[in-house]
Structure 1
Amino acid sequence: MPSELEELVEFLHHGNTQIRQIACENLVGFSISQPSLFKAHQLLPVRDLKLLAKDYAPIAKNAWTMLVNLSGDEEILKELAEDDAFLETIMNKVTNKKEPNANEITMLLANLAKSDSLKRIVNLTRSVPKDVSTSSKALDQLMDCFIKGQDGGINKAADSNYDYLAYFFADISKFEEGRCYFTTKQEYDGVIPITKLTVFTEHRSHIRRKGVASTLKNVAFELKSHPQLLAESEVNILPYILLPIAGPEEFSDEDSASMLPDLQLLPPDKERDSDKDIIVTHLETLLLLTTTREGRDLMREVKVYPIIRECHSHVDDEGVMEACDRLVQVIMRDEEGEGDAEAEAMEKARKEIEGKKDEEEEIVEVF
């Protein structure tokens, strides 16, 4: 005989709205503690939840919350991420200025990006959402939601800030197609997408800072993009990476005069990022950017070493200090007689960085 919980799960597709609502309310906690309950009958409960996500509130809110929690399961993730119709439902709701569950839906989208199948969103086109974006490309629309939607700028109904799209961008940028998108000027606004994200490396939202830092690092794995990333007239990535690493320390007049303008004469109350993992991520991005001789020379020219030296001295964290050490070894080494090819240097940097699990790879859960 089925247990009471199994019977409760079956009520998710009951014809009575009140019964569906009671089932949803009582099952939210079990979507974290017992995800196997929702895998019965070839994932029928998950398919029910996809339908209930379009139901009335509060049924829909609980359905989205459960889907966020359940998407940590590989089998359920596959069911959700490969469903084109469900992806359109997500896009339709994320770009709806009156969607009350936008926060939960962007959390789910961030989790779905763990699936390789979701890289198809890079080339996905759909109807243009009025007053949100002027582009028919799904990624452009999500970028516009992220940029315009901070601090409730788009969606007042849910008080949504679209912060979790930063985690989505981080995972999409792990794919070559995603990195290509972020470094290609888009036709609808003539802007390189990654330049829209760099300004958030010192944002007050921890989620935005974390996701953007990881996106920048992933894009830096694309060796051919390094000239564009470093060029002051294009992406100009260096100041945005260095500022979260920099503290209030004073430098010699000679060093300070050679630093990037944004790094000169920082105020005495300047603080480094409070998250040590984010600092490590930025240091790893810098390490990737030293792959080419041009990158190394630029970092020497703008006196990156003194900034890294002070970071090493003032941040009591083993991960930060190790990342500083790796970067300093590259910046300060003698270039004479160096025989490493750029591809070999990139591979070495990749191995050093990919040895640890990134925080952004963790599944988002709603408690």
Structure 2
Amino acid sequence: MPTELEELVGFIAHPNPQIRKVATENLVPYSTEQPSIFKTEELLPVKHLKFLIRDHPDIAEHALTILVNLTADRSVLEFVATDDRFLGFLLTNLVDPEEQNANLLAMLLANLAKWDDLKSIATRKQDAPAALKSNDLVLNQILDLFVKGADGTYNKKADFDYLSYVIADLSKHPEIRKFFLTEQDYDHVVPINKIKVFTEHKSDIRRKGVASTIKNVAFDVPAHTSFLDEDQINILPYLLLPIIGGEEYDDEDTMGMLPDLQLLPPDKQRDSDPNIIQTHVETLTLLTTTREGRDLMRKINVYPVVRETHLRVNDEGVQEACERLVQVLMRDEAEEPGAVVEEVEDDEETKIVPV
């Protein structure tokens, strides 16, 4: 005999929409507390949930919430991420300016991006809504949605912050890194230049995902000249501003710094998240891979900024990252520069824990 809970799971496929709504709403807590109930009959409940994102927005909201939580499980993640038809529906609805559950779709896509084969999205195309003013490449649509949709400016129901986790995980793959560094024909913008401004933003999700994306793309050493060039990517101000506070520097240190760092107010706050600070410092370390990068960082007095960050941020990861960077900057060029940092996957799987 099936238990009451098993019967409730069965009701998510009921022909009566009111029953589906009650069932999905009541099952949300169990997607974190007892996820095994959704893994019966070769994941049949998950199959039903995938179909329900096409349902009434209220039912779709609960179904998506459950799917976001369940895709923290590797077997469910694979089952969902390998469904190309489902992925197509998700991406089409994501860019719809009237989609009521766009943020949940972005959260689910953030989890699916942890499936390595999702890198195939690099060549995926679909029609773009006129309001988005993008082209037919899905990656461009995701980036344009992330930029134009911040703070509910494209879809009043969504801020699309979780797309930062999508691009962060995708940027682990060389073909996606190449995309971020390639000027796009339809708007003549290099994609990484669209996101760098979000290293300072009120959303810690946005800042964290963008920081990780920039770091991953910086593993492309031949692109470092573009990263450092003021007329191209010019990434250094966007890495240094989040890690500098309102502390005072002596005139000699200040005069050599980038102009953006010279006239900061005394109440300037560095990023509140030590993990983000660590990521930025590690990106700076990556950019010392070339002699050009090391010489430029010495010229613009990066060392005093890193010294103060090490002194004022009480976090072991930040302090170790600062020490590695300082060792490179202070080392005699006759020595081997060294400096090893690792690619990052942004955040753990997204979960929505019911209150």
TM-score category (smaller protein): over 0.9
Aligned to 1:322: 320
The C-alpha deviation readout for 1:18-59, integer Å capped at 9, x for no partner, is 221121111111111122111111111111011111101311
Aligned to 1:217: 215
CA contact under 8 A between 2:168 and 2:345: conserved in structure 1?
no
Give how far 1:360 is off: 2.3
The C-alpha deviation readout for 1:122-162, integer Å capped at 9, x for no partner, is 11111122211330000111111111111110112x2x111
The C-alpha deviation readout for 1:233-281, integer Å capped at 9, x for no partner, is 1100111000011111222222222211111121111111011111111
1:364 is the counterpart of 2:355? no
**DSSP 3-state at the match of 1:299:** helix
* 1:144-163 pair list within 5 angstroms: 144-156=144-156, 158=157, 160-163=158-161
Identical-residue share of aligned pairs (%): 55
Aligned to 2:113: 113
Q: Which range moved further: 249-258 or 77-86?
A: 249-258
Q: C-alpha separation between the residues in 1 aligned to 2:126 and 2:93?
A: 13
CA contact under 8 A between 1:113 and 1:168: conserved in structure 2?
yes
1:28 is the counterpart of 2:28? yes
CA contact under 8 A between 1:256 and 1:265: conserved in structure 2?
no
| Structure 1: stretches of 5+ with no match in the other structure | none
1:59 is the counterpart of 2:59? yes
Q: C-alpha separation between the residues in 1 aligned to 2:160 and 2:134?
A: 18
Q: Which residue of 332, 340, 343 corresponds with 1:349?
A: 340
Aligned to 2:171: 173
Aligned to 1:45: 45
Q: C-alpha separation between the residues in 2 aligned to 1:143 and 1:317?
A: 32
Aligned to 1:87: 87
Aligned to 2:104: 104
Q: TM-score, normalised by structure 1?
A: 0.93
Q: Which residue of 281, 284, 287 corresponds with 2:285?
A: 287
1:205 is the counterpart of 2:198? no
Q: Which residue of 329, 332, 338 corresponds with 1:331?
A: 329
Q: Which range moved further: 253-262 or 146-155?
A: 253-262
Which of the pair has the greater relative contact order for Cα pairs under 8 Å at 6+ separation?
Answer: 2
| Structure 2: stretches of 5+ with no match in the other structure | none
* 1:184-195 pair list within 5 angstroms: 184-195=182-193
Q: How many residues align?
A: 353
Q: TM-score, normalised by structure 2?
A: 0.96
Give how far 1:223 is off: 1.3
CA contact under 8 A between 1:133 and 1:140: conserved in structure 2?
no
Q: C-alpha separation between the residues in 1 aligned to 2:81 and 2:190?
A: 27
Aligned to 2:272: 274
Letter aligned with residue 73 of structure 2: D
Q: Which range moved further: 18-27 or 278-287?
A: 18-27
**DSSP 3-state at the match of 1:88:** helix
- Provide the alpha-carbon RMSD of the alignment: 1.3
* 1:68-83 pair list within 5 angstroms: 68-83=68-83
CA contact under 8 A between 1:179 and 1:222: conserved in structure 2?
yes
CA contact under 8 A between 1:166 and 1:208: conserved in structure 2?
yes
